[in-house]
Amino acid sequence: MEQSYIQITIDGREIMAKEGQSIVEAARDHGVVIPTLCDFKSLPPAGTCRVCMVQIGGRIVPGCTTPVSFGMVILNDTDDLRNLRKGLIEMLFVEGNHMCPTCEKSGNCELQNLAYQYGMLVPRFPFLFPHRKIESHLPHLLIEHNRCIQCLRCVRGVKAKDGHEIFGFIQRGINIRVTIDSTDPDALTEETAQKAMDICPVGALIKKKTGFKLPIGKRRYDVNGNG
């Protein structure tokens, strides 16, 4: 079937978006950066982190789960939206225990990179310092619950050979935490552990025996601030 295109406007710039695309996808196709954390390549959108909030008319909506429509006028780069996103990033930091200097993902971490990009210094919210565990019993993967931002990227993107999900969530509210399918622990092979570490935007999933694989200063955001 032939692809249909529709005209939308982002920050005053008219672009042609593919019908059915999300705002984030359309913007990306035209080199417009809308920040994201839970969004990942070809995974279906989850809309969990909300840092891709944009403004349409008087409404603030998530760009990853909102499809484009004809004539849509979108605001992306405004002071209010930057402040809103910065507040969300700050919330993610105070809600967990991130401790960047001791994290293997430092320099490759999407949350840390956004914090730098949005000029986060001291968060406007108090740190909660929750008591969370580090799970180290798995043969190939360390689960650092202190750093999980519940983006669901591991749940959506890391599957066993037969297609079933390896990761899931248990409990609710502030006690919610990521876990692996205990009925099939063998599904978490060395290869899937590496995939989990790569897909996780922060340092919550660390493949064992990968410490300092790349020295600090040569990591993704050390050499390219926008990734």
Binding mask 131-170 for ligand SF4 (x = CB under 6 A): -----------------xxxxxxx----------------
Residue number, 198 or 222, with CB nearest to ligand SF4 = 198
Q: How far is Cα 184 from Cα 161, in angstroms, rounded to an integer?
A: 12
Amino acid (one-letter) located at 57: G
Residue number, 15 or 151, with CB nearest to ligand SF4 = 151
Q: How far is Cα 194 from Cα 158, in angstroms, rounded to an integer?
A: 10
**Beta pairing class for 13-18 and 5-10:** antiparallel
Whether residue 68 contacts residue 76, with contact meaning beta carbons closer than 8 Å, is answered with no
Q: How far is Cα 166 from Cα 189, in angstroms, rounded to an integer?
A: 10
Residues in the chain, total: 227
Least distance in Å: CB of 150 to ligand SF4? 5
Least distance in Å: CB of 41 to ligand SF4? 13
Q: How far apart are the first and last CA of the chain?
A: 34
Asked if 178 is part of the footprint of ligand SF4 (rule: CB under 6 A), the reply reads yes
Binding mask 187-226 for ligand SF4 (x = CB under 6 A): ------------xxxx-xx---------------------
Residue number, 24 or 202, with CB nearest to ligand SF4 = 202
Q: How far is Cα 226 from Cα 67, in angstroms, rounded to an integer?
A: 24
Asked if 103 is part of the footprint of ligand SF4 (rule: CB under 6 A), the reply reads no
Least distance in Å: CB of 203 to ligand SF4? 8
Residue number, 52 or 152, with CB nearest to ligand SF4 = 152
Residue number, 132 or 219, with CB nearest to ligand SF4 = 132
Least distance in Å: CB of 6 to ligand SF4? 32
Q: How far is Cα 70 from Cα 75, in angstroms, rounded to an integer?
A: 15
Half-sphere exposure of 67 (CA within 13 A, CB side): 9
- Residues near ligand SF4 (CB under 6 A) are 148-154, 178, 199-202, 204-205
